[in-house]
Amino acid sequence: MFEFITDKDKAVHAALYVLQQVGISDYHKVFKILYFAEQLHLKSYGRPLTGDSYQAMRFGPVPSFLYDVFKAAEKGNSPFDEATARSGAFKVSRQGNTPMVTGVIEPDMDELSESDLEVLTISVAENGKLKFKELVEKSHDTAWDKAEKNEDIEMSYLDMARAAGASEEMLSYISMQSENSSSRLT
């Protein structure tokens, strides 16, 4: 499995940046904008944006840690201390059955590199105006499909990069980066 260490602070500030650009939004739109930014960062720079593990869910990829943070913001607590600690950066309200999230603090731009901001800005421009169904269809790419068919809920970063059109050289580089990151997990 190709794994990376989740940069939890960067994940929060990337989401805050997206919300700063699009305004109050449902979880789905934020998650898909981040997913496409992750793909573009992998394809262009050989490493993920946040390292959050993406789960292949019914309506497309969902970043696991950030989902826990949003749920903690909505419910006021979480079984995961790290999610609860970061949940104060967001406010969640409901429009009918749809949870809507907004950032309550400004993104810390020191948490985001120039390449991070580049891919986030591109992803917001390309995906920020898309409707729910359009985002579902677009995010049901080959990486999502492979995880879904294999009944693996966690999507592979290598498959995400491949779905984004990364070159074979970049895929090799990503694989090497993942091995280096995984070795720090033990």
Please report whether residue 75 resides in a domain: yes
Which residues pair with residue 90 across a beta bridge?
103
Q: Are 43 and 125 in contact (CB under 8 A)?
A: no
Q: For residue 2, is it within any domain?
A: no
Total domains, the chain = 1
Give the model confidence (pLDDT) of 105-145 as tens digits: 999 999 999 999 999 999 999 999 999 999 999 999 999 99
Distance CA 35, CA 122 (A): 12
**Is residue 52 in a domain?**
yes
- In a domain, residue 162? The reply is yes
Which tens digit of pLDDT belongs to each residue from 9-58?
999 999 999 999 999 999 999 999 999 999 999 999 999 999 999 999 99
What is the residue range of 156's domain?
8-183
Residue 114 within any structural domain of the chain? yes
- In this prediction the pTM is 0.93
Q: Tokens 């992998």 — which residue?
A: 42
Residue 1: inside a domain, yes or no? no
Question: Would 3 be classed as within a structural domain?
Answer: no
